[in-house]
């Protein structure tokens, strides 16, 4: 009988190889980083074991290993200590992200740098836009101008892609126009197109100190009961000039990734967000070692299988290490 088993195996291997789209590759992973002011800082984030806030010197040190792991891109978030009503620090030439960008550019070769463009980490109220009328609404159009300024300041400092995550209407267009007008036609846009109002962002908000001080984000992030709206948002962003569209979170939204894949012929990024990471890593999690590895690979492969080309994930380094072996 052994010869029959062998033949079957060979047949299966052959077919599996042929439909190998769902293979995870280190080059498809995007690693998020939190950068903070100062020197010599490496501060662990309690709700996200293994993830740190780095000052830019330590960030560069940590990034030195990425090339040999095969990781090609990072997503950069700034931790701002000078917050105000309007989030002015977000577009300062000497802002924490702008300074880090220059430093990375100088010290690390061949890395794609994507920067988060939003206001929630820079405003005293913690919302993603400018708040008008004694906290009653977010002023979409004023926010667009600020987002364009932020994106431009990142491009000037060396970002390859800017990633607007504020979910304001028209944000991709206004950023695209500002970049083009100022000679940054080559700077790409990774649009957080379908971003749901989710309970899976908690650990991230701890890391960034960016929780809304009043109200919530349901007026500008999407209702998770709705899927057609996501496709509409994605279509709009493609029209406005997005180079890559994003679905976020990933795990509870595989259908959205799949429908996007079916409907649009564009690169798709999925954000395996902080709460999804914490599910596996969380304090008290009894999953360890090989079991943890298998679980992470299964989750990320599922996201790929659904149709994502890129996965933004806090697991990126360990996964790249596992894949290498």
Footprint of ligand PBG (CB under 6 A): 116, 118, 120, 128, 165, 201, 204-205, 273-274
Query: Based on CB atoms, which residue is closest to ligand PBG, 57 or 251?
Result: 251
Q: How far is CA 124 from CA 89, 257, 291, 303, in A?
A: 11, 34, 42, 35
Question: CB-based contacts of 189: which residues, under 8 Å, 6+ apart?
Answer: 161, 162, 163, 164, 172, 175, 176, 179, 241, 242, 243, 244
* Tokens representing residue 224 in the block: 């998770």
Catalytic site residue from 83, 99, 103, 195: 195
Query: Based on CB atoms, which residue is closest to ligand PBG, 19 or 98?
Result: 98
Query: Based on CB atoms, which residue is closest to ligand PBG, 12 or 226?
Result: 226
Beta carbon of residue 218, minimum distance to ligand PBG (angstroms, whole number): 11
Q: Is 248 a catalytic residue?
A: yes
Query: Based on CB atoms, which residue is closest to ligand PBG, 283 or 290?
Result: 283
Query: Based on CB atoms, which residue is closest to ligand PBG, 128 or 150?
Result: 128
* Tokens representing residue 38 in the block: 């100062």
- In three-state secondary structure terms, 191 is strand
Question: CB-based contacts of 222: which residues, under 8 Å, 6+ apart?
Answer: 167, 194, 195, 196, 197, 229, 230, 233
Beta carbon of residue 156, minimum distance to ligand PBG (angstroms, whole number): 22
Beta carbon of residue 316, minimum distance to ligand PBG (angstroms, whole number): 12
Beta carbon of residue 84, minimum distance to ligand PBG (angstroms, whole number): 18
Distance CA 248, CA 197 (A): 9
Catalytic site residue from 83, 103, 248, 281: 248
Beta carbon of residue 76, minimum distance to ligand PBG (angstroms, whole number): 11
How many CB atoms sit inside 10 A of residue 103's CB?
18
Distance CA 93, CA 106 (A): 17
Report which DSSP code applies to 185.
T
**Residues annotated catalytic, as ranges:** 195, 248
């Amino acid at each position: 009988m052994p010869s029959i088993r062998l033949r079957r195996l060979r047949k299966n291997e052959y077919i599996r190889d042929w439909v190998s789209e769902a293979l995870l590759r280190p080059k498809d992973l995007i690693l998020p980083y939190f950068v903070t002011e100062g020197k010599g800082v490496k501060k662990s984030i309690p709700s996200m074991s293994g993830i740190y806030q780095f000052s830019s010197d330590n960030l560069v040190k940590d990034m030195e290993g990425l090339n040999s792991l095969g990781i090609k891109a990072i997503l950069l978030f700034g931790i701002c200590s000078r917050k105000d009503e309007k989030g002015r620090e977000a577009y300062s030439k000497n802002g924490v992200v702008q300074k880090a960008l220059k430093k990375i550019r100088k010290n690390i070769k061949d890395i794609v740098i994507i920067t988060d463009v939003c206001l929630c980490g820079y405003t005293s109220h913690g919302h993603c836009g400018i708040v008008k009328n004694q906290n009653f609404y977010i002023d979409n159009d004023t926010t667009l101008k600020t987002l364009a300024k932020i994106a431009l300041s990142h491009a000037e400092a060396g970002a390859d892609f800017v990633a607007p995550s504020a979910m304001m209407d028209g944000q991709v267009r206004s950023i695209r126009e500002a970049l083009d007008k100022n000679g940054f036609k080559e700077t790409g846009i990774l649009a957080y197109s379908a971003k749901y109002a989710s309970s899976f962002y908690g650990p991230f908000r701890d890391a960034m100190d960016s929780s809304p001080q009043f109200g919530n984000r349901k007026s500008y992030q999407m209702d998770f009961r709705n899927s057609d709206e996501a496709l509409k948002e994605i279509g709009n962003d493609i029209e406005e000039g997005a180079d890559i569209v994003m679905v976020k979170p990933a795990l509870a939204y595989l259908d959205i990734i799949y429908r996007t894949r079916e409907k649009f012929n564009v690169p798709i990024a999925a954000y395996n967000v902080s709460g999804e990471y914490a599910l596996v890593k969380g304090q008290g999690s009894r999953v360890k070692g090989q079991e943890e590895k298998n679980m992470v690979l299964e989750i990320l492969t599922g996201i790929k299988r659904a149709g994502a080309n890129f996965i933004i994930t806090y697991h990126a380094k360990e996964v790249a290490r596992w894949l290498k072996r």
